[in-house]
Chain A
């Protein structure tokens, strides 16, 4: 019982995070919401996830949860890598700009 409470708390918090998080990507936010709701449902009663799985054409509720988990993980990795790339580009631009600005002035001083 204690584990059910712990997991429901975790999924509830992730659902709240998915609802209020202002800077998250649109798709990432929705996956977090759906993932959390399905997580809560799978703990409260297997029947609920089973019905959703049947509705979307997946055999078992556990499979639905597994698929959603995998997609969420891959999306998270993809978004994280993309963010790192963006951050690297920004740092690179900044470093180049500083190099030109600082050394251009000392170069002019030499003349």
Chain B
């Protein structure tokens, strides 16, 4: 049971999956922070029935804003040593989260990025893989990093690094901004493989492919907001 590694879950309208996702995490993680990003379904009621910390945005701002809120909250928790970000749609496995939590406590690097391209490439739908490759190419080029995946929701960050990472992009482009901040501020990082579970539900809930263009736009924005 991890009590000094917090799980951070940004949530928007996940009434169908959130209970099972959190229930699977609870036996392994004592501290789960759920950021309800202005959900209009019964997500809030479900969260209130679970043993988690709930941070509630009164309006929907975006995944980046939810992560930013969670980071700020966890920074102020005395017992927190690191955070693992986890998607609410059931794409990630608890085993991966535990592996990330173990590794972030042991390794020297301050950030661990999850990568879908190290282990199970065949798992990713073809069109999504192509779009992700383009985004990864530009992210590596513009942020001067060497990553195989740029927009994986599963990542682990030490508390010391949380204080250095400033997120001001509210939507999906925050992932690029984190990478940009890591590069710009010389934060050490590495990658670990993740086993992403693509179900019909997670495909519909996840990032749409045309978001690739928005992400690239946000990447340029994040560079201009230095």
Q: Is the CB of A100 within 8 A of B72?
A: yes
Contacts across chains A and B counted by CB atoms under 8 Å: 38
Question: In the complex the two chains form, what is the Cα distance from A99 to B36 in whole Å?
Answer: 9
A92-B53 in contact given A100-B69, A100-B73 (Cβ < 8 Å): no
Distance, CA A19 to CA B168, complexed state (A): 36
Interface size grouping (class) on chain B:
10 to 19
Given A99-B35, A99-B56, A103-B54: A89 touches B65 (CB 8 Å cut-off): no
Chain A hits for B57, CB < 8 A: 95-96, 99
Identify whether the interface residues of A are mostly helix, strand, loop, or mixed. Answer: helix
Residue A25 CB within 8 A of the other chain: no
Q: Which residues of A contact B (CB under 8 A)?
A: 88-89, 91-92, 95-96, 98-100, 102-104, 106-107
Q: Please, could you name 12 A-B residue pairs with CB atoms under 8 Å apart, sorted by A?
A: A89-B168, A95-B59, A95-B65, A96-B72, A98-B58, A99-B57, A99-B58, A99-B69, A100-B69, A103-B54, A104-B76, A106-B54
Additional A-B contacts beyond A96-B68, A104-B73 (13; CB < 8 A): A91-B59, A95-B58, A95-B61, A96-B61, A96-B72, A98-B58, A99-B35, A99-B55, A99-B56, A100-B69, A100-B72, A103-B53, A107-B53
